[in-house]
Amino acid sequence: MMKFDLIRGTALVAALVAGVATVRPAAAQELVFLSTQLRPVDEAQKVRDVLLKGAPKTVYVVDEPSPFTVRMKAETESGKRTISLVGALHGELQPLAPLGALDTIDDVAAKLGDRGIPASLMELGKLGTGKQVYIPWMQATYVMVVNKKALAHLPAGANVETLTYKQLADWGKALAEKTGSRRIGFPAGPKGLFPRFLQGNLYPSYTGSMVTEFRSAEAETMWNDFKALWTTVNPNASSYDFMQEPLMGGEVWVAWDHIARVKDALQAAPNDYIVVAPPAGPKGRSYMPVIAGLAITKGAPDRAGAAAVIEHLTKPGTQVLTAAEVGFFPVVNATLPADLSPGVKLLAEGIAKTQTAKDAVVALLPVGLGDKGGEFNKVYLDTFQRIVLRNEPVRATLDAQAEVMRGIINGVKAPCWAPDKASDGPCPVK
Amino acid sequence: MNQRILPYLLVAPAVVFLGAFFIVPLVQTIVLSFDGGGTGNALGNYSRMVNDLNFGVSLRNTFMLVLVVVPLQLAMALAMGMMLQKIERGREMVLWIWTIPLGVSDLAAGLVWLALLQNTGYINSALFHLGLLDGPTPWLNSETPVTLFAAIVLAEVWRATAVVLIVIVAGLQTIPKEFGEAAEIFGAKPWRKFTRITLPLLKPSIQSALILRTVLAFEVFAAVYALGGRNFPVLVGEAYTWQNENQNYGVAAAYAVLIMVISLAATLVWLKALRTNPETQA
Amino acid sequence: MTRSGRFLLWSGIVALCAWVLVPIYLIGVGAFGGRAAAFRWPKGILPVNTSLDQILVFLRIEGVANAAMNSLIAAGLTMLFSLLLGAPAGYALARFSFRGADAFRLMVLLTRAFPLAILALPLTVIFIKTGLYDTPLGVSLVHTALALPFATLVTAGLFQGIPREFEEAAWVFGCTRFQAIRKVVLPLALPGLAASAVFAFVISWNEVFAASVLTVRERTLTAYLLTVLSESPIHYRFAGGFILIVPSIVFIFAVRRYLFALWGVTSR
């Protein structure tokens, strides 16, 4: 009779479950805050417990960028909103604006006049539409993390604080020869941010441009240099998503990545590392500031609440807490306290070194690409794969990829952004 | 109840359900794949797909994987099935252990094999203890394509042999014992008995196992992604990348349609190649 | 069997058991060993500085309990739906030859031949419009589409294995077709049906992509862990992987007896 018991049990469970499912109360008009940032468990918990303290009651949910986009599109198409407030990177918010998923929030921006958010950042938040679409939330950038063990092998005449790409290649070679394994690392894995390195660091440092000079002679030199540099990069790089892992594992001693993605390594062993600005090329030391923004959905269930949360999160006090707790830095005028944890302090120093370097060049996140941001990244990544990993001829590859790039830029009619000079009409790919 | 209507009534709920939750979005996806992707040419998405850097590689990788993994799994499952027939005590226990991977999600399976095969993983540690390695050695990158492929094959065989095993075991049970006993009386050697009696009688089961496994093998993704990252593009992985990273739903839909066409073609091949006559078919 | 033959047989069996179990054991060691174990070189096969910390961190995360509940509800409903829809269809395939039977089989198979994730966008739009979005019920409907092929084909095999004569005998004794099914066929098919239901449960429990696109707050456990796992340090990932595996071991154990019945005499 055991069979029958099993069946009855199964049926009972199923019936119970069905019952529970139907009586679950429908959620009331809650203020749902969906974010693609601060996703890891403990960080999300800090947002809920610390950063949102004092704000209107908020349900903080996180999502990866791709389901985030699918969800926003679907909610817009169906016209039913569950989400009031979104927090995401500039590049993730950008494709949502042309879809009509985001409300214009000039009224919210007007109330934040005294926060001291730099005009250039506020301008980015307009996404080229003339109306405020998102409010800058927090910022970060990409830095180099160096294990102190690597310093002993620095090539003669090189200063780790003012490294060039040439010196980095020599250093990598020395490290490989002296330690027997390749110690430089880039996050070139499927979820890594390597395309940002190519766009924001490498290209502008060699060519002074991200788009216009894509297939220039300087770019050709750059790729040849980088191909040489790659022979000293750890072969696992194409599986690295977050550099903190190989840094902590000791596999990599010199790594480039987003500050939030090296933070764990620095906090675990702050005495083992230094953080420096990325290397310089012939045209300067380019870096790319990363901006996360807060936007309100069109037809938000609780627009007033969402606006109040934005006001709360951009308060100088909250911004300082954000830096101390999760390692993203303020967009407003705020002084960081002296008692930051050693890991976060290292990051703060790294950012300061990057921004204030004498030869610093700012490369902005792409503007006006709409939902073509992903394909824009793919151009750089494909170029890298073809030239460096598959050994295809540099000139021919650049010409072919420039064609693809032109198609994307002309398709969305995006004018140039820094460091390329402003253009009338679509940004030219020379 | 009318004998002619009854089967349709019984099938109707399932058909309606699949219609609503599968066919409708499927048709939407197929339509999307032919929207041209803003090029004005209805095949625009397909030409972008075919001309993409990773298209050829992912097609080749997917086929290589299917061609290696599926026969390997069939051979293993047959061997395991024969072993199970030989034992009396502990049969249930052994079968349970062998079928555990059936319930392991591909995400978890990828994590398991990553733990084993990464630089400082268990397999390298074991080789190190045996004196075969000097230190942590990478196996899973673009410079070691052979070991990367082998690793993915290992993970896939580990994860998905159980499905084949169960179909084979079920098939073995339907073969009347008398056939084997008769063969033994006539003095057939075990191998001969296996090839002359067991295999032919098992053909329907082998066919369904192959169909099921091949279709699933063309969908392989999560485990490959966990082990190989960008270094081992496969078709479904490319579909995901176009959908999620490049946010070009048209090209993603084109990949999805391609995968479906290939799976259907493979199914037809198995149906034809292992044609079973209706009498022996259960 | 000869002594050496027996030895060979059992060493083969033991080796294959090890092939399945050792990887699971090792990820368990990784899950309980913490950061130190994850980065240790060379690694030993025995657990070192074992602690429950990682696992506990996971279980304490806000929302894990709710997500586990959602997973149970979604999987339970999937189980229910796939059986209610699949068993009648399976019975029809087993007992009748009717036009369109092959087309139906093909359609069922087709659902497995298409990467579901690509369907997420159209499905999400439909779900939001109908209010199924962000509910375990909505997730279970998609999972039912995944589990239904198995339920249909497997139950077809089951019913085929139950001789038609039993039913016909019942008719002779004055039962209607439905009474015959209820009194004769169902009791015989029950273990297989139960196993097939649990199989549907496993499919739903493990599915990630649809579950994470179709929900915001009411995540299933697998979808919830996925967002957490992909960006956590590696020892947390081992712990998460381990947590995902344990239920499958229990599920398979629960149905081990019916695994044969589940696939029964099915051969298509």
A2, A6, A12: best to mutate for the C interface, most C CBs within 10 A: A6
Q: What is the predicted pLDDT for the residue at C98?
A: 87
- Among partner residues C73, C216, C236, which is closest to A32 by beta-carbon distance? C216
Touching partners of B (3+ C-beta pairs < 8 Å): A, C
* pLDDT tens digits for range C129-167: 888 888 999 999 999 998 898 888 778 877 877 788 888
Q: What is the predicted pLDDT for the residue at B276?
A: 61
Domains in chain B, number:
1
Q: What is the predicted pLDDT for the residue at B1?
A: 53
Domain check: are C47 and C77 in the same one?
no
Tell me if B90 is assigned to some domain. Answer: yes
CATH of the domain at C75: 1.10.3720.10
CB burial string B30-53: b at 16+ within 10 A, e below? eebbbebbeeeeeebbbebbeebb
How many Cβ pairs closer than 8 A exist between chain B and C? 261
* pLDDT tens digits for range B206-235: 887 888 788 888 888 888 888 887 889 999
DSSP state of A416: P
Domain check: are A67 and A154 in the same one?
no
Q: What is the predicted pLDDT for the residue at A341?
A: 87
Q: What is the predicted pLDDT for the residue at A393?
A: 96
CATH of the domain at B158: 1.10.3720.10
Q: What is the predicted pLDDT for the residue at B271?
A: 80
Domain check: are A303 and A272 in the same one?
no
Q: What is the predicted pLDDT for the residue at C268?
A: 32
CA distance A129 to chain C (A): 27
CB contact under 8 A, A371 and B230: no
CB contact under 8 A, C263 and B116: no
Domains in chain A, number:
2
CA distance A315 to chain B (A): 33
Domain check: are C127 and C24 in the same one?
no
CB contact under 8 A, C268 and B116: no
Residue of A nearest to B245 (CA): A374
Domain check: are A227 and A190 in the same one?
yes
Tell me if C24 is assigned to some domain. Answer: yes
Domain check: are A323 and A294 in the same one?
yes
Residue B139 pLDDT exceeds 50: yes
Domain check: are C123 and C45 in the same one?
no
CB contact under 8 A, B53 and A386: yes
> What's the CA gap between B164 and B170, in Å, rounded?
10
Domain check: are A295 and A282 in the same one?
no
Q: What is the predicted pLDDT for the residue at B186?
A: 81
Domain check: are A336 and A236 in the same one?
no
Nearest to A386 by CA among A376, A396, A377: A396
| Cβ within 8 Å of C, A 41-70 | 41, 45, 48, 59, 61-64, 67, 70
CB contact under 8 A, A74 and C135: no
Domain check: are C121 and C78 in the same one?
yes
Which residue range forms the structural domain that includes residue A381? Answer: 141-288+363-412
For chain B, the average pLDDT equals 85
Integer CA distances (angstroms), A356 to A118, A255, A257, in order:
16, 20, 19
Tell me if A424 is assigned to some domain. Answer: no
Could you list the beta-strand ranges (E) of A230-284: 254-258, 273-276
Residues (pLDDT < 50) of chain C are 264-268
- Tell me the HSE value of A266 on the side-chain side, using a 13 A CA sphere: 31
Nearest to A142 by CA among A235, A283, A279: A279
Whether the Cβ atoms of residue C55 and residue C31 lie closer than 8 Å to each other: yes
Tell me if B182 is assigned to some domain. Answer: yes
* pLDDT tens digits for range A333-360: 888 888 888 999 999 999 989 988 999 9
Residue of C nearest to A81 (CA): C128
Tell me if B260 is assigned to some domain. Answer: no
Domain check: are C32 and C140 in the same one?
no
Domain check: are A215 and A305 in the same one?
no
Q: What is the predicted pLDDT for the residue at B73?
A: 96
Chain C partners within 8 Å of A243 (Cβ): none
* pLDDT tens digits for range B74-90: 999 999 999 988 887 88
Residues (pLDDT < 70) of chain A are 1-29
Residue of C nearest to B133 (CA): C42
Tell me if A45 is assigned to some domain. Answer: yes
Give the other-Cβ count within 10 Å of C99's Cβ. 9
Which residue range forms the structural domain that includes residue B185? Answer: 55-232
Domain check: are C204 and C256 in the same one?
yes
Those residues whose C-beta lies under 8 Å from the C-beta of residue B93, and which sit 6 or more positions away, are none
Tell me if C268 is assigned to some domain. Answer: no
Domain check: are C199 and C75 in the same one?
yes
* pLDDT tens digits for range B165-207: 888 887 787 777 777 778 878 877 888 888 888 888 888 788 8
Chain A partners within 8 Å of C70 (Cβ): none
Domain check: are A283 and A340 in the same one?
no
R_g of chain C, CA atoms, integer Å: 23
CB contact under 8 A, B247 and A95: yes
CATH of the domain at A69: 3.40.190.10
Domains in chain C, number:
2
Q: What is the predicted pLDDT for the residue at B144?
A: 86
| Cβ within 8 Å of C, A 92-151 | none
CA distance A366 to chain C (A): 25
CA distance B195 to chain C (A): 19
Mark out the alpha helices in C162-208 (DSSP H runs): 164-172, 177-180, 186-206
Q: What is the predicted pLDDT for the residue at A58?
A: 92
Which residue range forms the structural domain that includes residue C107? Answer: 60-263
* pLDDT tens digits for range A400-420: 999 999 999 998 888 898 899
Q: Within an 8 Å CB–CB cutoff, is residue A3 touching chain C?
A: yes
CA distance B145 to chain C (A): 23
Tell me if C42 is assigned to some domain. Answer: yes
Whether the Cβ atoms of residue A144 and residue A254 lie closer than 8 Å to each other: yes
% of chain A at pLDDT higher than 70? 93
CB contact under 8 A, A21 and C128: no
Whether the Cβ atoms of residue A349 and residue A161 lie closer than 8 Å to each other: no
Selected residue with higher pLDDT from B142 and B256: B256
